[in-house]
A and B are shown apart, each in its own frame.
Chain A
Amino acid sequence: QSALTQPASVSGSPGQSITISCTGTSSDIGSYNLVSWYQQLPGKAPKLMISEVNKRPSGVSDRFSGSKSGNTASLTISGLQAEDEGDYYCCSYAGSGNWVFGGGTKLTVL
């Protein structure tokens, strides 16, 4: 199972919006609405930000939103804040009980 493809880095200024893409295949993202997104701050465990493509867990800011089209999922962060800086990972169900993560994207707030 190959890792999902994410850009290595994205950046934006405070207040701007950014989008992180996550590209898979018809066997994972394209087949299931089971894409999730995780924020990982330095030295910390990952935190669930979006599940099932576009569901926000309780306590996660509504500045975070998710979507999917075909084999590509996206995470959009609006009203960028300094505290959003960190690494972001997508994850998808890949069938037969398997899951696969993306390569990760480093978000820099300028």
Chain B
Amino acid sequence: QVQLVQSGAEVKEPGASVKVSCEASGYSFNYYAIHWVRQAPGQRLEWMGWINAGNANTKYSENFQGRVTFIRVSASTAYMELSSLRSEDTAVYYCARGFEHAGGFDFWGQGALVTVSS
């Protein structure tokens, strides 16, 4: 069965960087994109961008341009790195399977809580 398993919770100081991993199983990883979505406490879902797991092409939301990087590190794992962290980046970060510009996000990771605090 399709599964996306993310890394655990992180606590970071302002100005630091954080990496969140997303390990996929149960499907052909290269055939899909991995989207990243975050949700601040009590707030809405916010789309961050995607990485094509086949050719590693990326698209970043303009809201995160220059601060976020998506990396395909293996045949089943992708990473999201967010730099220059500030308190407003405290959120649950999700990875989700989808396509670049088709369909919907049909499988989601369990989420990784990133807390930014001094």
- Total interface residues on A, using CB and 8 Å? 26
Mark contacts of B83-118 with chain A using CB atoms, 8 A cut-off: 1 yes-contact digit, 0 otherwise. Answer: 000000000001010001111111011110000000
Option from B44, B46, B59, B94 in Cβ contact (under 8 Å) with A45: B94
A72-110 residues with Cβ-Cβ distance < 8 A to B are 89, 91, 93, 96-104
B101: chain A residues within 8 A (beta carbon): 34, 93, 97
How big is the B interface, by class? 20 to 34
A52: chain B residues within 8 A (beta carbon): 102-104
A46: chain B residues within 8 A (beta carbon): 37, 45, 94, 96, 105, 108
B46: chain A residues within 8 A (beta carbon): 101
B109: chain A residues within 8 A (beta carbon): 45
Is A63 engaged at the interface, CB distance under 8 Å to the other chain?
Answer: no
A1: chain B residues within 8 A (beta carbon): 61-63
A97: chain B residues within 8 A (beta carbon): 50, 59, 100-101
Interface secondary structure of B, over-half rule = loop
Option from B35, B44, B111 in Cβ contact (under 8 Å) with A99: B35
* Assembly CA distance A49 to B103 (angstroms): 12
Q: List 9 A-B contacts (CB under 8 A).
A: A3-B44, A38-B45, A38-B104, A40-B45, A45-B94, A46-B37, A89-B45, A97-B59, A98-B61
* Assembly CA distance A51 to B106 (angstroms): 9
Is A48 engaged at the interface, CB distance under 8 Å to the other chain?
Answer: yes
B105: chain A residues within 8 A (beta carbon): 36, 38, 46, 48, 91
A103 & B44 in contact (Cβ 8 Å cutoff): yes
A38: chain B residues within 8 A (beta carbon): 45, 104-105
* Assembly CA distance A80 to B51 (angstroms): 37
The smallest beta-carbon distance between B73 and chain A, in angstroms, is 22
Contact of A45 with B104 at beta-carbon distance under 8 Å, contacts A89-B44, A101-B46, A101-B47 already known: no
